[in-house]
Chains A and B, each alone.
Chain A
Amino acid sequence: MTGNGRFGIHGGQYIPETLMNAVIELEEAYNRYKDDPVFNQELTELFNDYAGRPSRLYYAKRMTEDLGGAKIYFKREDLNHTGAHKINNVLGQALLAKKMGKTRLIAETGAGQHGVATATAAALFGMECVVFMGEEDTKRQALNVYRMKLLGADVVPVTTGTATLKDAVSQAMREWTARISDTHYCLGSVMGPHPFPTIVRDFQAVISKEIKEQMRQAEGKLPDAVIACVGGGSNAIGSFYHFINDLEVKLIGCEAAGRGIDTFETAATINTGRLGIFHGMKSYFCQDKYGQIAPVYSISAGLDYPGIGPEHAYLHDIGRAEYVAVTDEEAVNAFEYVARMEGIIVAIESAHALAYAMNYSKVLSADQCVVVTVSGRGDKDCASVARYRGEEIGE
Chain B
Amino acid sequence: MSRIRNAFSGKKAFIPFITCGDPDLSTTEEIVLAAAEAGADLIELGIPFSDPTAEGPVIMAADERALKNGVTTDQIFELVKRLRSRLDIPLVFMTYANVVYSYGSERFLENAAQAGIDGLILPDVPYEEKEEFHALCQQYELDLISMIAPTSENRIARIASEAEGFLYIVSSLGVTGMRADISTDIGSMVKLVRENTDIPCAVGFGISSPEQAAAMAEISDGAIVGSAIVSMIGTYGKDAAGPVSEFIRSLADAVHAVKG
Residues of B within 8 A of A365 (CB): none
Do A14 and B129 touch (CB < 8 A)? yes
With known contacts A174-B53, A174-B174, A178-B174, A17–B129 Cβ distance under 8 A:
no
Known: A174-B174, A278-B51, A292-B49. A17 touches B98 (CB 8 A): no
Q: Which residues of chain B are within 8 angstroms of A275 by Cβ–Cβ distance? A: 101-102
CA distance A14 to B54 in the complex (A): 11
Q: How far is the CA of A34 from the CA of B157 in the complex (A)?
A: 31
Contact B126 A17 (CB under 8 A): yes
Report whether B174 and A13 are in contact in the complex, using a CB–CB cutoff of 8 Å: no
How long is the Cα–Cα vector from A291 to B63 in the complex, in angstroms? 14
Cα distance A280–B123 in the bound complex, in angstroms: 11
Q: Which residues of chain B have C-beta atoms less than 8 A from A249's C-beta?
A: none
A15: which B residues are within 8 A, CB to CB?
A: 53, 124, 126
Is the CB–CB distance between B152 and A167 below 8 Å?
Answer: no
Cα A14 to Cα B97 in complex, Å, equals: 8
Smallest CB–CB gap between A6 and chain B, Å?
11
Contact of A17 among B60, B101, B127, B154 (CB under 8 A): B127
- When distances are taken between beta carbons in the complex, the residues of chain B under 8 Å from A173 are 53
A31 within 8 A of B: no
Residue A287 CB within 8 A of the other chain? yes
Q: Does A18 contact B (CB under 8 A)?
A: yes
Among B78-86, B109-117, B143-151, B208-216, the stretch that binds chain A is B143-151
B51 touches A161 (CB 8 A): yes
CB pair B124–A20 under 8 Å, yes or no, is no
Chain B residue with minimal CB distance to A4? B128
Residues on the A chain within 8 Å of B124, using CB: 14-16, 277, 280
By a CB distance below 8 angstroms, the chain B residues around A291 are 49, 73, 98-103
Q: Contact between B128 and A13 (Cβ–Cβ < 8 Å)?
A: yes
Q: Mark A271-312, 1 if CB is under 8 A from B, else 0.
A: 000111111101001010111110000000000000000000
Q: Does A166 contact B (CB under 8 A)?
A: yes
Q: Contacts A16-B53, A20-B149 given; 20 further ones with Cβ under 8 A?
A: A13-B129, A14-B124, A17-B155, A17-B159, A17-B170, A18-B174, A20-B128, A20-B152, A21-B153, A22-B151, A160-B60, A177-B173, A178-B173, A179-B173, A274-B102, A277-B96, A277-B97, A290-B74, A291-B103, A292-B49
Interchain Cβ contacts under 8 Å between A and B, 23 examples = A4-B128, A13-B128, A16-B53, A16-B123, A18-B173, A20-B128, A21-B155, A160-B57, A160-B60, A170-B53, A178-B174, A179-B174, A180-B173, A274-B102, A277-B97, A277-B98, A279-B51, A279-B53, A287-B98, A290-B73, A290-B74, A291-B49, A291-B99
Footprint of B on A, CB under 8 Å? Answer: 4, 12-22, 160-161, 166-167, 170, 173-174, 177-180, 274-280, 282, 285, 287, 289-293
Which residues of chain B have a CB within 8 Å of any CB of chain A? 49-51, 53-54, 56-57, 60, 64, 67, 72-74, 96-103, 123-129, 146-155, 159, 170, 173-175
